[in-house]
């Protein structure tokens, strides 16, 4: 049993907004009596996200996973989709769920995003698209991936679940590719409790996704020109999102300060992934790479002893899933065994950060002496 004087520090924790602000939105919902079906708060949230991030089309949905499924369905994919083995399981499961075949290409050694050179080695006549993850919000090699897509007539989807608020070359990272998808799960920098969004620049594609998320309905007479699904976000989730969105800039600034404190203590002792030049990061995660899996486990155990619980994002690699084919991805196998995300959320104070760093450094020193 944990002592009240030693609270558990998890890898992440949502920064809940002011309750009175949320209650104000709830009063409006109660007065209108509309809980779902593209209500006014959903519409307001879409507009405000577009304005905040600088997007053309942003369609909020009920989860980040359904956002991926809608992207695959809207692009009419039914063949091979090349993707990364180093991501959350939803990236691959959405591909398989939609009747496509996930094909894995290994990752870059520095950014940990999918390697464009490896993509080209697994391309076949059955390849229809690339689904790449901006892992931890670190931008993929978007230019090289786009060149490949043009050369081989492929669609490009970016799983941008970690990339809310990330800018690349002076624009939102979400503006690259045919479609980007977001997750608004409670563990994310920006969240609605459960939720997500589909982002694109194409008017026809946006309208199609708008229909598909609402059973395929086209107009008040409920005509169904194509197959759809129920992927709508509720007014209750949109209300939470509106409260959270107002504090996102402050949240990013606070996370940046926490990361800087980690850097000051840990730089030179642990390897970190590399951000591409031209990136304005959102500080969504603090991943560190150890010299070996054994060293990682030693440090993790030391942290657990003081009620600190980092997470192995993402282990094991998705290429080990039972329902996908086997592909040689040695870099993803290696990195996934040695990478750990340290706690990062707005409420972490300097004393807690310093304690985490002290435990990590002491564990590293003890391990090196063994």
> Which residue shows structure tokens 């109660």?
30
Q: Return the minimum-mean-pLDDT range out of 209-213, 306-310, 322-326, 349-353.
A: 322-326
Residue of 164, 182, 213, 166 lying closest to 90 (CA atoms): 182
Q: At residue 3, does pLDDT exceed 50?
A: no
Can you tell me the distance from the alpha carbon of 314 to that of 311, in angstroms, rounded to the nearest whole number? 8
- Compute the average pLDDT of residues 175-188: 98
CATH architecture of 19-245: 3-Layer(aba) Sandwich (3.40)
Place of tokens 């090699």: 141
Convert the pLDDT of each residue in 80-132 to its tens digit.
999 999 999 999 999 999 999 999 999 999 999 999 999 999 999 999 999 99
Domain spanning 248-369 has what CATH number?
3.90.1150.10
Q: Yes or no: say if 89 and 60 are a contact pair by the CB < 8 Å rule.
A: no
User: For residue 283, is pLDDT > 60?
Assistant: yes
Of 369 and 242, the structure prediction assigns the larger pLDDT to 242
Nearest to 245 by CA among 195, 173, 179, 181: 195
Place of tokens 């959405």: 94
Q: Under DSSP, is residue 119 helix (H, G, I), strand (E, B) or coil?
A: helix
The per-residue pLDDT of the chain, averaged, comes to: 96
DSSP H helices in the chain: 19-32, 40-53, 64-74, 89-97, 116-121, 142-152, 203-212, 235-245, 248-266, 293-305, 330-338, 350-369
Distance CA 85, CA 352 (A): 33
**What pLDDT was estimated at residue 50?**
98
> Over the stretch 125-175, which tens digit does the pLDDT of each residue have?
999 999 999 999 999 999 999 999 999 999 999 999 999 999 999 999 999
In this model, does residue 1 exceed pLDDT 60? Answer: no
Q: What is the rounded CA–CA span in Å between residue 355 and residue 362? A: 11
Run of H or E including 9:
strand 9-10
pLDDT band at 368; cut points 50, 70, 90: confident
Q: How distant is the alpha carbon of residue 189 from its chain centre?
A: 9
Q: What is the pLDDT of residue 202?
A: 98
pLDDT band at 5 (very low <50, low <70, confident <90, very high): low
β-bridge pairing 57-61 and 279-280: unpaired
Distance CA 210, CA 195 (A): 15
pLDDT in tens, 44-68: 999 999 999 999 999 999 999 999 9
Q: What is the pLDDT of residues 13-27, one digit of tens each?
A: 999 999 999 999 999
Mean pLDDT of 306-312: 98
Question: Cβ(201)–Cβ(212) under 8 Å?
Answer: no
pTM of the model: 0.96
> Given a cut of 70, is residue 2 above it in pLDDT?
no
Domain range annotation of the chain: 19-245, 248-369
Q: Binning pLDDT at 50, 70 and 90, where does residue 222 land?
A: low
Please state, in angstroms and rounded to a whole number, the distance separating the CA atoms of residues 303 and 290.
Answer: 15
């Amino acid at each position: 049993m944990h002592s009240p004087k030693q609270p558990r520090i998890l890898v992440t924790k949502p920064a809940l907004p002011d309750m009175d602000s949320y209650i104000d939105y709830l009063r409006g919902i109660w007065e209108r009596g509309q809980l779902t079906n593209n209500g006014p708060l959903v519409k307001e949230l879409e507009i405000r996200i577009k304005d905040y991030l600088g997007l053309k089309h942003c369609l909020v949905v009920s989860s980040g996973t359904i956002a991926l499924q809608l992207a695959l369905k809207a692009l009419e994919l039914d063949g091979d989709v090349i993707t990364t083995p180093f991501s959350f399981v939803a990236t691959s499961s959405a591909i398989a769920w939609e009747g496509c075949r996930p094909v894995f290409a290994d990752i870059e050694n520095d950014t940990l995003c999918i390697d464009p050179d490896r993509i080209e080695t697994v391309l076949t006549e059955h390849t229809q698209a690339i689904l790449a993850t901006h892992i931890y919000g670190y931008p993929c090699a978007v230019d090289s991936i786009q060149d490949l897509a043009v050369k081989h007539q492929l669609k490009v989807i970016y799983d941008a679940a970690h990339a809310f608020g990330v800018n690349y070359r002076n624009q939102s990272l979400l503006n690259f590719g045919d479609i980007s998808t977001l997750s608004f799960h409670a563990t994310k920098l920006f969240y609605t409790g459960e939720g997500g969004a589909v982002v694109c620049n194409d008017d026809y594609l946006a309208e199609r996704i708008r229909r598909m998320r609402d059973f395929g309905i086209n107009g008040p007479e409920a005509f169904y020109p194509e197959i759809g699904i129920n992927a709508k976000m509720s007014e209750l989730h949109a209300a939470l999102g509106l409260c959270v969105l107002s504090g996102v800039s402050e949240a990013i600034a606070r996370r940046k300060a926490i990361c800087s404190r980690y850097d000051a203590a840990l730089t030179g002792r642990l390897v970190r992934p590399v951000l591409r030049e031209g990136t304005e990061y959102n500080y969504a995660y603090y991943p560190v790479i150890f010299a070996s899996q054994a060293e990682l486990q030693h440090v993790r155990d030391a942290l657990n002893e003081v009620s600190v619980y980092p997470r192995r994002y993402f282990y094991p690699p998705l290429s080990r899933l039972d329902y996908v084919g086997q592909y040689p991805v040695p870099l993803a196998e290696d990195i996934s065994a040695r990478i750990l995300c340290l706690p990062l959320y707005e409420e972490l104070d300097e004393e807690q950060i310093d304690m985490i760093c002290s435990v990590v450094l002491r564990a590293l020193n003890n391990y090196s002496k063994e």
